[in-house]
């Protein structure tokens, strides 16, 4: 039994190495595709990206941050105006409330300086663990591994996580499989791999070097 478990562990380690090498081949320098100029702009952009695409978020935030260029402007913006700008996104009414709430909290409670501690950031309206992980990794190069829908899908297809694992369980497993110093880069690589290659609908399986270890139903 012990020999069997060791063999399975070695096979999994080999699969992770194959995957990591393929990510480096496809996406050696993975970018953050959300546009921002200020720290709170990235926070808001990541929050807005739920249930929509980064491309659409960038189109919206270009208008949003142009019309309301400061935290004070955002917190005083009429909800109707924010809703109008955010209308191309899903749940735009809720997100308009979140935008104004985030700006108000940072401006009034933290003197306009965005907090860096997870426990404080997660108290902001509409902000959860994934958003904070993206923020801390992207802005401050802290070791975080955010799990979004792309990362979740890729992890389960490649047996890096179980089908019924939740996002926190997936995060913990990925952190064990990859070196701590790589977490931020691997997260972005997996997001882009899931977005452009291992897509939810019509994934590009032909020519993929991971076909032999992928568990997606053909």
CA 150: distance to chain centroid? 8
Could you confirm whether 175 is annotated as catalytic? no
Residue 209: CB partners within 8 Å, gap ≥ 6? Answer: 18, 22
On whether the CB atoms of residues 67 and 85 are closer than 8 A, the answer is yes
Tokens of 195: 């977005």
Q: Which of 75, 95, 148, 188 is catalytic?
A: 148
C-alpha 4/C-alpha 159 separation (Å) is 18
The catalytically annotated residue of 95, 130, 177, 188 is: 130
Q: Is 164 a catalytic residue?
A: no
d(CA 104, CA 73): 10
Q: What are the angstrom distances between the C-alpha of 51 and each of 88, 95, 116?
A: 11, 11, 25
* Active-site annotation, residues: 130, 148
């Amino acid at each position: 039994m012990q020999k069997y478990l060791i063999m399975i562990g070695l096979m999994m380690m080999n699969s992770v190495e194959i995957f990591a090498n393929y990510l480096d081949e496809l996406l050696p320098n993975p970018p953050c595709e959300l546009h921002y100029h200020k720290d709170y702009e990235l926070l808001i952009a990541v929050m807005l990206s739920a249930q929509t695409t980064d491309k659409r978020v960038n189109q919206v935030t270009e208008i949003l941050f142009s019309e309301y260029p400061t935290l004070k402007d955002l917190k005083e913006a009429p909800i109707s105006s924010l809703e109008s700008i955010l209308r191309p996104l899903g749940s735009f009414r809720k997100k308009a409330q979140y935008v104004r709430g985030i700006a108000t909290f940072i401006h009034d409670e933290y003197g306009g300086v965005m907090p860096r501690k997870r426990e404080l950031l997660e108290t902001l309206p509409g902000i959860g663990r994934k958003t904070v992980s993206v923020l801390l990794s992207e802005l401050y190069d802290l070791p975080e591994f955010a799990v979004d829908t792309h990362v979740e899908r890729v992890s389960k297809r490649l047996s890096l996580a179980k089908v019924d694992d939740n996002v926190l369980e997936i995060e913990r497993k990925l952190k064990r499989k990859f070196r701590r110093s790589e977490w931020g880069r691997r997260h972005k690589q997996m997001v882009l791999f899931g977005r452009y290659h291992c897509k939810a609908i019509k994934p590009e399986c032909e020519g993929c070097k991971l076909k032999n270890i992928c568990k997606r139903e053909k």
